[in-house]
Structure 1
């Protein structure tokens, strides 16, 4: 018996009795639980669990892959594993699937049902499971009932609450009982509009328990956009909060926004349940009920203890992302493959073992909240932190450092924008000095490209390593306090590119961090860069003969089919759009919509969205390459570069910059001239940045997840530059995801003033 099997045997023997063994009478136990009991009993005799999988441990166990070095190159363990996963996908992913508890174990890793549709891959097609069971029940049964599962830290309400796995399971059962009484069953949709509160996670897991499909819409979403999502997914039940709390002085009422959405919806839910937060108790309409009455009041003897068996390809959730047509795209996440990949990445990518604390500083309404606040940490048996606050203002720039220290966070995940905000408000990281962060093993940045200077600033002040001027950060000695970028999308659900910090405790076996790069491709990802062709600039075109770019050449980032597990398998109610948006343009590939390059060392650089490329006199320039230079100026906190139409060159860049909150050592004109000079020297004169195209503003418009609203800014500049008309009220539509609408008005006034004094181009 090999060591891997011995580990599985130990895990199997340490688990508590199966569900069916602790429920009485037997007739009340659902079929899914009885089947899972049989599977778990079989595992006691055959610990590896999959009778058909004859896999050697070296296929999956990272200890059996090594980093190899020669005079000409180093091949890291991460790349060894990735190559194996591409050449032996069946063996690799069947082994990965063993880390999930299946009700009916899969006998195949993947099939392509229709060869004419290579983008439609079914992962673990005959497998059946329950995701909520994997997130809660199995941990309670294996001895983690008293371990903290969820820490709710809310500086805006002044509260911290902790829930053990046992307590969280009971609350989920209460919510599932309520949903079941409301007529919700497998395949029904439930819309969740609650914000960053524990009840939102409870609601998500309760839906998964019943096989219902949840759709989380972040709190505060405008009525018209909320209505679009209600109309599209037609939820049987809506779960909402009365309000959101931005800070101690700002309450955002949610219920009026929901009422406004329902007024214009043709499809209405059978039931609306409202969590009445003490900060704002709202009157309920006829047929509506409070969470306290509908959920909290359910007694133990009334609980529904069962769970629904779902197929691997059955939807776990719908997550809407903005679409270019104005109609949101409902990304559908398959249950089984998503669970497998989340479990794999929690330890190998994010270096978070069961029992350790994982904190993603995000909103539950975004993909990060789904994958790595709710499901990933809980499926892994870790402790997850749900933070209701912001990097500054709740109450000051110490918020992140305080949470990291107080809750002994092992792995931290946030957006580069949060780092920019901290750098702007606290450039010398004085607040950080008050806290001990030595226990933080790994820190990850994602959401948009992390500019090298921002990354170096974080490393310097958080880890104490000064990499000023350096391109590469070597991981020396034991892996600890590592800060890495990574890249993925709502559509993919988990990382495509990164540094897999959890593959070794030895820093020499981990690829060095390269500033400006998201890392290297991970398991199952066959990432390519396709050459940009002038004749295929429009998204509606099809490139029947795509050409791969050379190393260092900027092009379209794509994934060669078949796609790895866990990625969306359709768009809700729109299979045609699913194909045309992602697979039509480059046959045989998934089009990420991003541009970038692979450098000579194999690192992937994600530079910008395809529409963030500026064409200046036939020179294609990534806005990110300009922003990288600009943000290194010691007076600039953050920036956004967009295109301005030019009569001769086609386009030229416009820089919109936010200055740091401290006394300036230079005049504004001096800063403008500095930026122009640096761009000319480091990017080239062809970039055509002129001093009059540098605009200083107080802040940039952003989404609730911290992404700069670049499309809106581009639209403003184009409108003003081409029309010559500057109305008092901004004519550009307000994005549904904007955090503060007033920032849009501030920016419009700033660019209106700029265009009046700017030379005609």
Structure 2
């Protein structure tokens, strides 16, 4: 149960943030070091294109590194690198990281990068990826991190959109299936991109990895420059001083996952983002200087930007950088060993990671003998957290399990349980309450507010708080069309949900994940929650497939827990049908179930429901650039095509 004090603290802070947003964020901005402190907190002269702290100047790299060293904490670990793929482990202090970043900033500067220029970072989960990001911030260059291993056409599209001066890469990444050479992918992307060899790219800097050897150096020239070796360039460098930039200057451009056609580049500013991350680390996550924090994600995604790199370093915490998976590297105890090894105090990961552990080790036998007593909380985000997974993890670890919800576009949580302000009562299935700064509402298609408990479109009243996107790289008009036009005066999240009478927000999924069955609107998230209550099922993805009579009908793809495989899929289907009928009702018209070995997921762990719909409907399959394992598609197509693992009545 929540304490009256925690609830009072939250209500007080939320009220301050919406009644006096300028005063609220002026105070929060004092936690950031400014070259020129902002005098005007909110610039609304070009609404709906708002700017925070626009007349302020700062350097984000200085805030993440120099000020901690200057405060006498240079010997503290800034990054703990742990690679389950190679066995390599490395601790990097704030002083050491500052030296590496400032020297690589000089490398960037010597090869033509300057304030406002773009730099593509195409790297695996290694410390050099973080160094490259912070080095860009140090000289005012705008970085765009693209997940290592992205297909060449997708990489080329992002190069064309960002028009970078430099590309930073590594010889390759390592997956459980083996090494992935990046350089052939990058070479092809540059040949496809109009801004590659004949465009803006002046040089490619390559970090060789011993585990992925290859001809990294001496490749074909790019726009008249050779491919440069990271280590050789660092050896010739001198530390570069931080460059003051405007708070409104872009820090990075991040392309949304799963984009087809022309990519959408989310533009993040420097000042508002730094302020928001400092505030959220302390007040949402309860993490401050000296704490050990682990975000099990990737720097290619927004979670990695905000809570592997910038957030923890800005507040002076120690951040764990992990190259590995929750299972299979080598087993389902990988996460628990990392927590024990580094005395991790809080973990942030995706529900998919926890479901993968649960599927492989449902009784948590591998947790026995591993000391995770340092762990104080687990934060889950990125997709729907089903109640079964929530209860399983909370009971297993005996620590608060905090579901929260946000987006690439917002950069930090919209809805959550603010641990730093005092944890509130948990309602499984709800991401809890709006975070101070976000005025969340639920509206119908005509932008009228829905009553408590009524599902609709989740929107956020403008202006968005600091840290949210300020535009799209392709321009303000596209930004307005994509997010602001649907509900004037609001930011459209594209998600559906409801707010109950206590103000708790329930996310029901993307608005295009609502199934219309004979006129009845059903949430795929609610259906998945029900399917997952079956004791044999580890993961579930429910989609809508075409139905000649009802328009759509729900169809479930499921995986089973280890040791609970069944040859009687018909019996399993009947049991799940009864579960859905008893929980949601016959109106769901649920009757289709596919048992599959794995679900198709992005590298960040999200299930690719569009891909499942294409397979189930027999449409032409488009292999997404974000797919983690292409082999899984063959198994899925075989299951649907041959009907050997499908049962339907």
TM class by shorter chain equals over 0.9
Report whether the alignment pairs 1:250 with 2:217: no
Matches within 5 A, 1:107-506: 107-114=39-46, 118-247=47-176, 250-268=178-196, 269-283=201-215, 284=217, 285=219, 286=221, 287-295=226-234, 297-298=235-236, 302-322=237-257, 326-463=261-398, 481-504=399-422
* C-alpha distance in structure 2 between counterparts of 1:755 and 1:154, whole Å: 39
Q: Does the Cα contact within 8 Å between 2:595 and 2:646 map onto a contact in 1?
A: no
From 596, 601, 623, the equivalent of 1:697 is: 596
Tell me if the contact between 1:358 and 1:411 (Cα under 8 Å) persists in the aligned partners.
yes
Deviation of 1:755 (Å): 10
DSSP 3-state at the match of 1:746: helix
Alignment of 1:539-618 (within 5 A): 543=446, 546-618=447-519
Change (3 A) 1:186 1:444: same
- Within 2, Cα distance between the matches of 1:322 and 1:119? 25
Alignment of 1:736-755 (within 5 A): 736-754=625-643
Paired residue for 1:26?
Answer: none
Q: Tell me, what secondary structure is at the counterpart of 2:553?
A: strand
User: 1:251: Cα distance to partner?
Assistant: 0.6
Give distance in 1, aligned partners of 2:284 and 2:508: 22
- Residue pair 2:594, 2:645 contacting (<8 A) in 1 also: no
Q: Distance in 1 between matches of 2:3 and 2:403?
A: 21
Distance 2:455 2:464 in 1: 22
Q: 1:665 to 1:246 in 2, by over 3 A?
A: closer
Q: Which residue of 2 aligns with 1:49?
A: none
Change (3 A) 1:380 1:711: same
How far the C-alpha of 1:753 sits from its partner, in A, is 2.0
* Residue 442 of structure 1, CA deviation: 1.6
**Contact preservation (8 Å) 2:639, 2:646:** no
In structure 2, how many angstroms separate the alpha carbons of the residues matched to 1:218 and 1:90? 36
- Asked if 1 retains the 8 angstrom alpha-carbon contact of 2:286 and 2:419, the reply is yes
CA contact (8 A) 1:207 1:214 kept: yes
Question: 1:79: Cα distance to partner?
Answer: 2.5
Residues 605-754 of structure 1: pairs in structure 2 closer than 5 A? 605-664=506-565, 667-690=568-591, 693-719=592-618, 731-754=620-643
Supply the distance in 1 between the matched residues of 2:525 and 2:21 (Cα, whole angstroms): 35
Deviation at 1:759, TM superposition (A): 7.3
Q: Is 2:442 aligned against 1:529?
A: yes
Would the aligned equivalents of 2:614 and 2:621 in 1 still touch at CA under 8 Å? yes
CA-to-aligned-CA distance 1:186-220 (integer Å, 9 cap, x gap): 00000001110000000000000000000000110
Whether 2:433 is the aligned partner of 1:520: answer yes
Structure 2 stretches of 5 or more lacking a match? none
> Residue 601 of structure 1: CA displacement?
2.0
Q: Higher relative contact order at CA 8 Å, sep ≥6: structure 1 or structure 2?
A: 2
- Which whole-Å CA distance do the structure 2 matches of 1:394 and 1:177 have between them? 36
Deviations 1:620-674 (CA, angstroms, capped at 9, x unpaired): 0000101001011000000111112112211111111111111457832221111
Is this contact kept in 2: 1:76–1:511, CA < 8 A? no
TM-score by length of 1: 0.82
User: Which residue among 6, 15, 33 is the counterpart of 1:83?
Assistant: 15
Aligned-residue offset at 1:67: 6.6
Q: Is the 8 A contact 1:119 1:563 kept in 2?
A: no
SS at the partner of 1:513? coil
Aligned residues of 2:570 and 2:647 also touching (Cα < 8 A): no
Matched residues in 2 for 1:290 and 1:660: separation? Answer: 46
Q: Deviations over 1:92-146 (max 9, x none)?
A: 10000000000000012101122xxx32111011110000000000000001110
Contact map agreement 2:596 2:645 (CA 8 A) in 1: no
Q: Look up the match of 1:726.
A: none
- Distance verdict in 2 for CA 1:67–1:695, change over 3 Å: closer
TM-score, with length taken from structure 2:
0.96
Let me know the Cα RMSD of the aligned residues: 1.7
Deviates more, 1:75-84 or 1:358-367: 75-84
1:79–1:522: 8 Å Cα contact kept in structure 2?
no
* Distance in 1 of aligned mates of 2:166 and 2:527: 47
SS in 2 for 1:735: coil
SS in 2 for 1:615: strand
Contact 1:323-1:329 within 8 A present in 2 as well:
no
Contact 2:39 2:56 in 1 (8 A): yes
Deviations 1:22-45 (A, max 9, x none): xxxxxxxxxxxxxxxxxxxxxxxx
Aligned to 1:511: 424
In 1, distance between residues paired with 2:644 and 2:364?
36
| Change over 3 Å in CA distance of 1:326–1:88 after alignment to 2 | same
Is 1:101 equivalent to 2:33 in the alignment?
yes
Structure 1 Cα separation of the partners of residues 158 and 549 of structure 2? 43
Q: What is the CA-CA distance between 1:279 and the residue it aligns to? A: 0.9
Q: Which runs of 5+ in 1 are unaligned?
A: 1-65, 464-480, 505-509, 534-542, 721-730
Q: Distance in 2 between matches of 1:274 and 1:68?
A: 55
CA contact (8 A) 1:432 1:461 kept: no
Query: Matched residues in 2 for 1:552 and 1:755: separation?
Result: 41
Offset, 1:281: 2.0
Contact 2:42-2:51 at 8 Å conserved across structures: yes
Q: 1:414 to 1:718 in 2, by over 3 A?
A: same
1:668-711 Cα shifts (integer Å, max 9, x gaps): 22211111111111101100012xx1111111000000000011
Please give the secondary structure, in 2, of the residue aligned with 1:178.
helix
2: CA distance, partners of 1:414 / 1:76 = 29
Please list the CA deviations of residues 281-319 of structure 1 after superposition, one character each: whole Å capped at 9, or x if unmatched: 221314111111112x13xxx513311111111000000
**Contact 2:600–2:633 (8 Å) recurs in 1:** yes
Partner SS state of residue 244, structure 1: strand
Deviation digits for residues 151-176 of structure 1, max 9, x if unmatched?
A: 00001100110000000000001100
Q: Is the 8 A contact 2:569 2:647 kept in 1?
A: no
Partner SS for 2:522? strand
Deviates more, 1:79-88 or 1:395-404: 79-88
Greater shift, 657-666 or 589-598, is seen at: 657-666
